[in-house]
Amino acid sequence: RAPGVCVSNFRALATGSGSLLCVYFVVPRMSGRAPKRARGGSAAAGGAGGGVASDPLFDEAAFDALAADMAAEDAKRDKIIKRSRDVLKLSKTSIYALHRGDMAKAAKQLDEARQITKDELFPLAEGGPAFLRGGALSSALEEYAEARVFETFLTTGSIPTLADLEICDRDEYVGGVLDFTGELNRYAVLRATDRDVEAVRHCRELTDQLMAAFMKFEFRNGNLRKKYDSLKYTLKKMETLIYEMSLSAAMGGLAPKSSEGDKDMPDGADDA
């Protein structure tokens, strides 16, 4: 065996005379060590990781500023989401208070919600990306608009304008009015249990007028479109409610009651 080589394969081939022919395939023996890298190298190799410093190819300070700006926006967004929940909760609980007839408590909660929005939320969202005003804050203001519209209806019999709400934008106001019709239907049912036909008819009339007004809008597929589509079912529920009350009165059941209460009814009328 020649020095520096090793046997890699061996084959035995049968010859025609019956003897064996042995063939050896040899390859050079490897030392087992990786070749040493050449020191130095070209400038391009050094810049790619050879340990030689090179000039930056972009403005790293500009990227640091972008990262800081994104972190600041995230911090603002977290604060807005947290305080928007408070506005949403105050608005929801005020609607509950309005249904119970606690007007003073509802007014106090709505005033607090408005103050939080003006003093804390708007300064955070002002001048920032659109998503800071949208999302949680917009949903909270839509709920606030619904509560204010319901409050105004209970005190005046009508609904406020967009300018009256002050802190809501157009979509928040429209969404709030559409949601208000659901609360109006609940209010109508409560008045029907008290046999207040006049109040139920007033609720139905207002819903019908709002339906006619919103038919002029061209809502795209989205949140407002879904709210608008539910309005016709609210109107149908009120019409069914009035029909059932009229049937009950015609059959000698529950007699209609005036909006002023029982004081205008003769004594003993409830015993009939």
Question: Do 153 and 70 have their domain in common?
Answer: yes
27: in domain: no
Question: Do 179 and 228 have their domain in common?
Answer: yes
Q: What average pLDDT does the chain have? A: 81
Which of 1, 21, 5 is CA-nearest to residue 13? 21
pLDDT of residue 179: 97
- Residues 55, 81: Cα–Cα separation, whole Å: 43
44: in domain: no
- Residues 137, 91: Cα–Cα separation, whole Å: 12
Tokens standing for residue 128? 């920032």
- Residue range of the domain that includes 76: 65-161
- Residues 177, 148: Cα–Cα separation, whole Å: 9
26: in domain: no
pLDDT of residue 50: 53
pLDDT of residue 35: 54
Long-range contacts of 155-161 (CB under 8 A, 24+ apart): 155/103, 157/202, 158/206, 159/206
Residues with pLDDT less than 70, the chain: 1-53, 253-272
Question: Do 70 and 147 have their domain in common?
Answer: yes
pLDDT of residue 73: 84
29: in domain: no
Q: Please, are residues 158 and 184 in contact by the beta-carbon 8 Å criterion?
A: no
Q: Please, are residues 91 and 58 in contact by the beta-carbon 8 Å criterion?
A: no
What's the number of domains the chain is made of?
Answer: 2
Considering 98, 132, 161, which residue would you say is the last residue of a domain?
161
143: in domain: yes
Considering 107, 128, 161, which residue would you say is the last residue of a domain?
161
User: What is the maximum span of the chain, computed from C-alpha positions, in angstroms?
Assistant: 139
- Residues 141, 156: Cα–Cα separation, whole Å: 22
Q: What is the CATH number of the domain that holds 76?
A: 1.20.58.190
Quick check: helix, strand or coil at residue 46?
helix
Quick check: helix, strand or coil at residue 16?
coil
Ranges of H-type helices in the chain: 43-45, 60-99, 103-116, 122-125, 130-133, 136-156, 162-165, 170-193, 197-214, 223-250
pTM exceeding 0.85: no
Q: Work out the end-to-end distance of the chain between its first and last CA atoms, rounded to an integer number of angstroms.
A: 129
pLDDT of residue 5: 47
For 227, other C-beta atoms within 10 Å of its C-beta total 20
pLDDT, one tens digit per residue, over 159-202 is 999 999 989 999 999 999 999 999 999 999 999 999 999 999 99
Question: Do 177 and 153 have their domain in common?
Answer: no
Question: Do 249 and 226 have their domain in common?
Answer: yes
Question: Do 186 and 104 have their domain in common?
Answer: no
- The secondary element (H helix, E strand) that includes residue 21 is strand 20-28
Question: Do 149 and 226 have their domain in common?
Answer: no
pLDDT of residue 174: 97
pLDDT of residue 248: 82
Question: Do 72 and 154 have their domain in common?
Answer: yes
Q: Residue for token digits 């304008």? A: 161
Considering 161, 188, 206, which residue would you say is the last residue of a domain?
161
Question: Do 87 and 153 have their domain in common?
Answer: yes
